[in-house]
Amino acid sequence: MEDVSTIVAKLYEGHPYPPPILDLSKAISQGNYQVGDPTLWAPLLWPEGRPRQKLKILVAGCGTQQAAWFAFTNRDSDVMGVDLSEPSLAHHRYLQEKHALQNLRLFRGDLREVGKIGENFDLIICTGVLHHMADPDEGARALAGVMVNDGVLVGMVYAAFRRTGVYMMQDLFRRLEVKPDASGIAFARQVLASLPPWHFAHFHINASQDVKSDAGFVDTFLHPQDRAYTVPQVLALIEGNGLHFQGWFENALYYPEGSDSIAPELRARLAKIPERDQWASMELLMQWAHWHFFFARKRPTPAISFSGDAWKSYVPHYNPGIRRLAQNQFSRLGQPITLSAHEIAPFSAVDGVKTVGEIGAHTRQMFERLWKQGHIMVSKA
Ligand SMILES: C[S@@+](CC[C@H](N)C(=O)[O-])C[C@H]1O[C@@H](n2cnc3c(N)ncnc32)[C@H](O)[C@@H]1O
C-alpha cells in the first residue's frame, strides 16, 4: 500500500493546484492577495511589532504559485517553497524567471521532513495542506520545530460543517472508483448536476468558484485524503502540537459582533460565555466558514483584549480590504461598514500610528466592535 504522501503527490502532479497563473503583477492588480502576507497583514502576524525587516519565510505545500507570490511582494525577505509536486514547483520556476525572484528557493519534499533543511523561519505559511496529510498533527509538529521563537504560523484547514456535502460526494465517488482523469471528472460533474435541490453538496458548490476549474474540482470532490475541522479541533491541532493560538484571520466569522442577524436574547447569552465558546457557537449558528485561517505562535503573546487597560495603547489599523466609498462611507467585502454619526471622526482618525487612547477614551467600545467585526487590526504601541 502506498503511503499517503505518495498518493497525494500523484494527485497534485496530475492536477497542480491552484490553476497556474501566468503573471503575479496582473493577479495582484486584480485585487488578489495571499493571507498572511506581511506587506498587508503585519499587525495580525506580530501585534507586538514585526521582529525584523528581512524575514525568512517558509511556504510549506506551496502549490503552483504561493512561494513565488511571497517572494514577489517581499523582495527584501528570503522565501523557501516546499512541495511534493514537481509540476507545481515547475510553475514556480516559471514565475521565478518571469519576475526575477532571486530571493526564492524551492525544495521538493515532504513537509514532515522540513527539519532536514536545517533552517528556522520567522514566518511559515501552510494553507490547505495539513488536512491532506495522513497525520496533520505530525505536520504541525514538524512546522513548529522549524520556527524561531518569535515566529508565526499562518495556517488554513477546511471548516467542517460547510463541507458536509463534499464528504458525502467524496465517499460516493470512492465507492464508484471514480478516477481524477478526464472521464472521471466529466462523470462526477454530471452526477453533481443531477443532485436533488436539497442535497447538502449545493451548499458548498453554490458558494465556490474553485470547483469550476478541473484542478479545483479534483481538489474538492476527488481527493484521496482530506479532512475538515471544527473550531475546537483547530485549537487542538495548534495547542496539541507545541504552538499557541494567536488569532483568526477573519474575526467576523467567530464573534457575534460579526453578524447582524442574531436575536437580542441570544446575543446577550453569547456575550456571557467564554470567548472560545463564542467562536464555537458562531460556527454552529452561522455555518459561514469554508476554511479556518488562523495565526499560531511558538511563544504565547498576550491576547488582544478590550476589557483591562491594555486597549488604551492598542494602535488600530484598517483592514487592507476596507474601501472608502465616499467622504464618510466605508465598505469591506462588498458590505457597508455601519458607523453611527459620532463614530465617523474617530474611525477616520485611524492611521496605524495613533493609539485608541489618543484617538479618544470614549472609542473603546467602538474599536472593540470593529476589531471583532474584522474591520480593524490592532498592534500594540
Ligand atoms: C490544495 S494545495 C494548496 C497550495 C497552496 N498552499 C495554496 O494555498 O494555494 C496543497 C499543496 O500541498 C502539497 N502537499 C500536500 N501534502 C504535502 C506534504 N506532506 N508535504 C509537502 N507538500 C504537500 C500538494 O502537493 C499541493 O501542492
Asked if residue 1 has pLDDT above 80, the reply is no
270-327 pLDDT, tens digit per residue, is 999 999 999 999 999 998 889 999 999 999 998 999 988 899 999 999 999 999 888 7
- Please give the grid coordinates belonging to residue 359: 484617538
Average pLDDT over residues 211-232: 94
Per the document, the length of the chain is 381
| DSSP percent split of the chain into helix, strand, coil, nearest 5 | 45, 20, 35
Cα 166 to ligand 1 centre (Å): 19
Are the CB atoms for 53 and 72 separated by under 8 Å?
A: no
First to last CA, the chain: 55
Whether ligand 1 lies within 6 angstroms of the CB of 234 is answered as: no
Q: What is the pLDDT of residue 376?
A: 97
Q: What is the pLDDT of residue 198?
A: 95
Q: What is the pLDDT of residue 185?
A: 97
Q: How confident is the model at residue 7 (pLDDT cuts 50, 70, 90)?
A: very high
Q: What is the pLDDT of residue 136?
A: 98
Q: How confident is the model at residue 381 (pLDDT cuts 50, 70, 90)?
A: confident
Q: What residue's CA is closest to ligand 1, atom 14?
A: 61
Exposure of 98 by Cβ count < 10 A (0-12 exposed, 13-18 middle, 19+ buried)? middle
245-275 pLDDT, tens digit per residue, is 999 999 999 999 999 999 999 999 999 999 9
Q: What is the pLDDT of residue 209?
A: 86
Q: What is the pLDDT of residue 234?
A: 98
Beta bridge partners of 296: 153, 245
Q: What is the pLDDT of residue 210?
A: 86
Q: What is the pLDDT of residue 288?
A: 86
DSSP 42-100: HHHH-TT--S-SS-EEEEET-TTTHHHHHHHH-TTSEEEEEES-HHHHHHHHHHHHHTT
Q: What residue's CA is closest to ligand 1, atom 18?
A: 110
Whether ligand 1 lies within 6 angstroms of the CB of 128 is answered as: yes
Asked if residue 207 has pLDDT above 90, the reply is no
Asked if residue 359 has pLDDT above 80, the reply is yes
Asked if residue 58 has pLDDT above 80, the reply is yes
Cα 165 to ligand 1 centre (Å): 23
Structural domain boundaries in the chain: 4-160+228-297, 161-221, 310-380
| Torsion over CA: 241, 246, 249, 253 (sign) | positive
Number of the ligand 1 atom closest to the C-alpha atom of 18 = 9
- Please give the grid coordinates belonging to residue 250: 477573519
| Among 33, 38, 39, 88, residue whose Cα is nearest residue 62 | 88
Angle in degrees, CA 131, 132, 137, rounded to 5: 55
* CATH assignment of 4-160+228-297, among 3.30.420.40, 3.40.50.150, 3.30.2350.10, 3.50.50.60: 3.40.50.150
Put residue 302 in one of left, alpha, beta given phi > 0 → left and psi -120 to 50 → alpha. beta
Whether ligand 1 lies within 6 angstroms of the CB of 63 is answered as: yes
Q: What is the pLDDT of residue 101?
A: 98
Q: What is the pLDDT of residue 308?
A: 87
Q: How confident is the model at residue 111 (pLDDT cuts 50, 70, 90)?
A: very high
The region of weakest confidence among 17-21, 73-77, 295-299 is: 17-21
pTM: 0.96
Peptide bond connecting 18 to the previous residue in cis, omega within 30 degrees of 0:
yes
Are the CB atoms for 359 and 242 separated by under 8 Å?
A: no
Asked if residue 208 has pLDDT above 90, the reply is no
